[in-house]
Amino acid sequence: MRVYISGKITDVPVRRYLLRFARAEQMLRAEGHEVINPAAIGLNLPMSFTHRDYMDVDIMLLDKCDAIFMLNNWEDSAGAQQEHEYAEQKGLDIIYENEQIQSEEDRC
């Protein structure tokens, strides 16, 4: 399954959000998924991009996925809320980080 990671980026220190997204990517890959990590992709986009430009790219990438993985802070981000709403409208599977952690604890 191809999974898009969504979470707060704006107003979060770069090292912090890159680490959160990278950890989620690593976990999802270990489960056998193909992963779209917009935080890593954004590093290669022009510095002149506006928030709207980033969102246009992100929605295009999300459109190519089967599921979205919502990091715990997604509700604090207008962009992640927009991605969540788009995923709901498209009928994508929605995986929440806190539920993922709980289900891993249940397996132990």
All structural domains of the chain with their residue ranges: 1-73
Nearest-angstrom CA–CA distance, 78 and 99: 21
Amino acid at 39: A
The string of DSSP letters for 6-39 reads: E---TTS-HHHHHHHHHHHHHHHHHTT-EEE-HH
One digit per residue, pLDDT tens: the chain, 108 residues? 999 999 999 999 999 999 999 999 999 999 999 999 999 999 999 999 999 999 999 999 999 999 999 999 999 999 999 999 999 999 999 999 987 654 444 444
The token pair that represents 85 in the structure block: 């709403």
CA neighbor of 21 nearest in space, from 42, 1, 45, 2: 42
pTM of the model: 0.90
